[in-house]
Amino acid sequence: MFMDNRSMHRVSIVIPVYQGAHTLPTLVKEIAPLTQPQLTPDGNSFMVCEVLLVHDCGPDRSDTTMEDMHAQYSFVQPVWLSRNYGQHAATLAGMASATGDWVVSIDEDGQQDPADIGRMLDSALASSLQLVYAQPMNPPPHGWLRNLFSRTAKTISTKLLGNSAIGRFNSFRLVDGEIARTLAAYCGNGVYLDVGLFWVTGRIGHCPVRLRNELARPSGYSYFKLFGHFWNLILTTGTRPLRLITVVGFGSMILAFAIAAYALYGKLYGQVPVQGWASILIVVAFFSGSILTALGVIAEYLAVTMGIVMGKPLYVVSTKPTRPAVRL
């Protein structure tokens, strides 16, 4: 089989590692055949040139597994973070070190199949896309409650933020290499990764895939952490939530005038007794709640802005692994 090296697409794979001690060997073994030159279903030549394992300092011994993988496979390169920064920061740390023409981010739990990379690359090349998300055709291998919350969060994000594409993001993504490295260099602390990608990409597509069951470990994300990701998505996408608060404020003022006009009309023309204490209590409670909600949202925006202005680092790469504490 002849392949033109000039058209060979080099792919870097970034894997954030939090609890991958038992899943990484299987996943890397699946990726190993892709490091040889081969063809996609549409006949495009590609190869995986490197696999970047980003150690996010989880509770298990992923560090020793990563060292073993690095010793066993020449294409595996570990990236050591100084502490746990979260999946998005770890993904960006891997993107900053990637050298391929394309960068693929994939989870460590094995539910995403590396064999789908070829079809995602075909989607990107066929439509000149800069970013391709995997679009699962089957429900994620989680409980029904978590899947329900996930769909609800994405629906709210789509309706509230006015961007239909943002509701279809996925951690399994193929990104143009230059865009991935540029984003990793300039993306600040507190910025949601997919929001940052929407800032710098104009051509986004989706590739149908089928999810697999996770490899011998549950998800490392609690409902509290997932809500934190959702809230970070809302805060970093734009000013539309603030504009919504402004609209609610104007609506509250109009409602207050309407209630006053109705009470005045009933008092003067309808001979209806207007009870003062109940109406005062309702109005004070309603508008106090509106003010506090607005102040709370504004305070969240100021907190995000302060974190960016103060130069808080998104991640710190070290030259040696940060190992978990030894339990005596």
Does the structure show a pLDDT above 50 at 124? yes
Give the dihedral of Cα atoms 210, 211, 212, 213; nearest 10 deg: -150
Does the structure show a pLDDT above 80 at 152? no
Range with the poorest average pLDDT among 6-15, 71-80, 136-145: 136-145
Higher-confidence residue: 296 or 180?
A: 180
Q: Which residues contact 308 (CB under 8 A, 6 or more apart)?
A: 188, 189, 190, 191
Burial (Cβ within 10 Å: 0-12, 13-18, ≥19) of residue 249: middle
Beta-bridge partner residues of 135: 208
**Which whole number is the average pLDDT over 163-177?**
79
Higher-confidence residue: 299 or 135?
A: 135
**Which whole number is the average pLDDT over 54-81?**
94
**What are the C-alpha distances in Å from 134 to residues 34, 119, 120, 171?**
18, 10, 7, 8
Percentage of residues of the chain with pLDDT beyond 70: 68
pLDDT recorded at residue 71: 96
**Which whole number is the average pLDDT over 139-154?**
64
Higher-confidence residue: 252 or 16?
A: 16
Percentage of residues of the chain with pLDDT beyond 90: 39
Higher-confidence residue: 132 or 4?
A: 132
Is 181 in contact with 98 (CB distance < 8 Å)?
yes
pLDDT recorded at residue 11: 98
pLDDT recorded at residue 1: 45
Residue closest to 16 by CA, chosen among 129, 102, 94:
94
Does the structure show a pLDDT above 60 at 316? no
Higher-confidence residue: 232 or 185?
A: 185
Task: Scan for tokens 């009933």, then name that residue.
Answer: 266
**Which whole number is the average pLDDT over 195-202?**
80
Does the structure show a pLDDT above 50 at 77? yes
- 19-61: pLDDT as tens digits: 899 999 999 999 999 999 999 999 999 999 999 999 998 889 9
Higher-confidence residue: 89 or 218?
A: 89
Range with the poorest average pLDDT among 53-57, 124-128, 283-287, 309-313: 309-313
Band of residue 325 on the pLDDT scale cut at 50, 70, 90: low
pLDDT recorded at residue 321: 74
Mean pLDDT of the chain: 80
pLDDT recorded at residue 257: 73
Tell me the three state secondary structure of residue 283.
helix
Does the structure show a pLDDT above 80 at 251? no
Band of residue 62 on the pLDDT scale cut at 50, 70, 90: very high
Does the structure show a pLDDT above 80 at 158? no
Higher-confidence residue: 234 or 127?
A: 127
pLDDT recorded at residue 2: 44
Does the structure show a pLDDT above 70 at 322? no
